[in-house]
Structure 1
């Protein structure tokens, strides 16, 4: 992932954002968590993001009452990474990233 050039970024263009959306389950509801780390915390978050196997992420298998997850990483206005995972795929580095985002931000319902 390219490192931001904060000296030349327009306001907000250097933001680093991680979004996690969980949908499905018995009620079929969606929840979203969003983390926008401070510049001081960005190296930790970048390490979490880069530890995930983005190229190996496979589409989740459909199944009744199962959760599916969408994980997005944005740098400025550009989506740098995006993955869709089934509940059983959210393990290892994925679980570490999801848990960190969930701790950093309260859940908000996703409006349809």
Structure 2
């Protein structure tokens, strides 16, 4: 997952991998998002706005989405928060 934009256009990256004990939780988080219904939902992509890029893999199935910060809510927010928590508090640059 990558978040770009904001002050100075910096990019931040987070990564999480499911272990055997939490695979079902991750599967539910990923499948709860409307992947097929989104590219960029909002036109709120002006200067200093964040853009989120999510890539998820469940077995052989790969999914990708780009979201304006204003569209990160509901299941998207849950997934993003879970990835950030699993990756720790400091993102990679």
Q: Normalization by structure 1: what TM-score?
A: 0.74
1:30 corresponds to 2:11? yes
Alpha-carbon distance in 1 for matches of 2:92, 2:13: 5
Alpha-carbon distance in 2 for matches of 1:98, 1:48: 9
Q: CA deviation at 1:79?
A: 6.0
* SS in structure 2 at match of 1:100: helix
1:65 corresponds to 2:35? no
Which structure carries more helix by proportion? Answer: 2
1:93 corresponds to 2:75? yes
Match of 1:39 among 11, 14, 20: 20
Q: Normalization by structure 2: what TM-score?
A: 0.88
Q: Which runs of 5+ in 2 are unaligned?
A: none
Alpha-carbon distance in 2 for matches of 1:79, 1:70: 17
Structure with larger Rg = 1
Q: Work out the number of aligned pairs and report it.
A: 89
Which structure carries more strand by proportion? Answer: 1
Aligned to 1:55: 36
Aligned to 1:74: 57
